[in-house]
Structure formats: structure tokens, C-alpha cells
Amino acid sequence: MSAPGPRSLVVVSAGLSQPSTTRLLADRLSAAVDRHLRDAGVEPKVDVIELREHAQDLTNNLLTGFPSPRLQATVDTVLGADGLIAVSPIFSASFSGLFKMFFDVVDRDGLAGKPSLIAATGGTPRHSLAIEHALRPLFAYLNAAVVATGVYAAAEDWGGGGVTADGSLVERIDRAAGELAAAIVAREPQARADRFETPVPFEQALRSNSATD
């Protein structure tokens, strides 16, 4: 089952170096999702966000309580997207601080129901479960619809493990991308409700206020 119309995909990469392994993984995932969407007859629009470029604005937002216009535009891109790919390096057994700072300033309800793919990079395969014990709970809290396959790429995945073998990085990217594309296609294109354009009418809000909750 698929709903018609174009879809937007946003890729959030928290890599720090340039070029970064995190961005490399993000690009592979993005290309694979793009391919799956086109196979399903859907025209994707892809935006890539490098959090490094917003590091200063994120700190300022946390301290001052408001986003810079540029950061606000970036957050709006994420909120308005039909699908999300979020990729972080694993530092000290979890996602990076920069990665968390970004999702700390996104509206709490902004990712609810959004088809999302979580991925991470690390030096060794011993941290691969950080996907499950760090990233997945974060996105569960945000009520994102995270696909079953998370992709962790250790340094050795870029050389060993083969390309076509079951469980290789290429195969895992393809499997996760297929799951995300299917979830995006199954959902109506998202027109984000603007609380400024269409406020909840006061009497309706007051009624739900006095209803038992």
C-alpha cells in the first residue's frame, strides 16, 4: 500500500571531522533510501544536515533559550520531513554530545510517528549495541517510528566482511533503507500542522481542559 505524492527525506549527521566516517555512512544510507523510494515510484527530495555547522548555535540555543534563524530553519527541515536518517559517532559508549544537543532543541512532539532510521559509527564492533541501548531509547522517547534495522559501521566494516555476504555492511544498509523507504511510502506526505497558522480554538482547548484526563 502506498500513498501518492513526493516525499522529503532528511539526513542528520553528527560527524565531526571532514570528511567523516559518519557522513560516509549517512550518504550510503541516503543513497540506498533514495533508490528504494524511486523503485516504489516516489520522487524523493533529500536534505543533509551536518550538525558540526550548527554546534555554536546549538550551544547558544541551550543557553539563551532561542534558536538562531539558521538553526530554526534546520529544525524546521527535520520537523517537516517525511523520513529521517539520524547518524552519530559513538563516543564513550553512546551517541555524541552534539547529536543529543540537536534532538534536545527539536520540539518534543516534532518527531512523533516519523519514519526514522538510526545508524552509528565507531572504531570497533564492540560498541555496536549502542544503537540499541542509546539511540533507540532516545527515538522511542520522541515517539519516532524507528525501523527494525539499525546500522552500525565499525572501522573494519569498510574493508572486511564482503559486499554481498549476508550481514555485510552493504547488505545491512540495503535492508535498513528498504524498511525506511517502505515506511515512508506507506504514510501520507506530511504537512506539519503550524500552531501559529491554525491554533487550537480556545473553547475547544478549554473543553478538553475540563474533560477528565
Partner 1 sequence: MQFGVFTVGDVTPDPTTGRAVSEAERIQIMVTVALKAEEVGLDVFATGEHHNPPFVPSSPTTMLGYIAARTERLMLSTATTLITTNDPVKIAEDYAMLQHLAGGRVDLMMGRGNMGPVYPWFGQDIRNGIALAYENYALLRRLWREDVVDWEGKFRTPLTGFTSTPRPLDGVPPFVWHGSIRSPEIAEQAAYYGDGFFHNNIFWPKEHVQRMVELYRRRFEHYGHGPADRAIVGLGGHVFMRQNSQDAIREFRPYFDHAPVYGGSMSLEDYMTQTPMTIGSPQEVIDRTMSFREIVGDYQRQLFLADHAGLPLVTVLEQMDMLGELVVPVLRREFAALRPANVPDGPPLHPAVIAARAVSDVNEPAAEEAPVEAVAG
Which residues are at the interface with partner 1 (CB under 8 A)?
56, 59-60, 63-66, 68-69, 72, 195-196, 199-203, 205-206, 209-210
**Which CB atom, from 67 or from 83, has the smaller least distance to partner 1?**
67
Q: How long, in residues, is the chain?
A: 213
Among residues 56, 123, 55, 117, the alpha carbon closest in space to that of 86 is found at: 117
For 42, the grid coordinates are 516516489
- Identity of the residue, 166 or 203, whose beta carbon is nearer to partner 1 in the bound complex: 203
Complex with partner 1: residue 64 or 92, whichever CB lies closer: 64
In this complex, which beta carbon is closest to partner 1, that of residue 166 or of residue 197?
197
Radius of gyration, alpha carbons of the chain: 18
Q: Determine the Cα–Cα distance for residues 163 and 144; give it in Å rounded to an integer.
A: 30
Residue type, 149: T
Determine the Cα–Cα distance for residues 14 and 146; give it in Å rounded to an integer.
Answer: 18
> Residues 84, 152, 142, CA angle at the centre, nearest 5°?
40
Tell the smallest beta-carbon distance from residue 14 to partner 1 (Å): 21
CB 21 within 8 A of CB 155: yes
Q: How far is the CB of 99 from partner 1 (least distance, A)?
A: 21
Which residue lies nearer to partner 1 by CB, 155 or 206? 206
CB nearer to partner 1: pick between 148 and 211: 211
Least distance from partner 1 to the Cβ atom of residue 63, Å: 4
- Give kind and range of the element (H or E) at residue 29: helix 21-39
CB of 205 to partner 1, least distance (A): 7
CB of 204 to partner 1, least distance (A): 10
Could you identify the residue written with the cell 478538553? Answer: 208
Q: How far is the CB of 206 from partner 1 (least distance, A)?
A: 6
Q: Phi/psi at 162 (nearest 5 deg)?
A: 75, 175
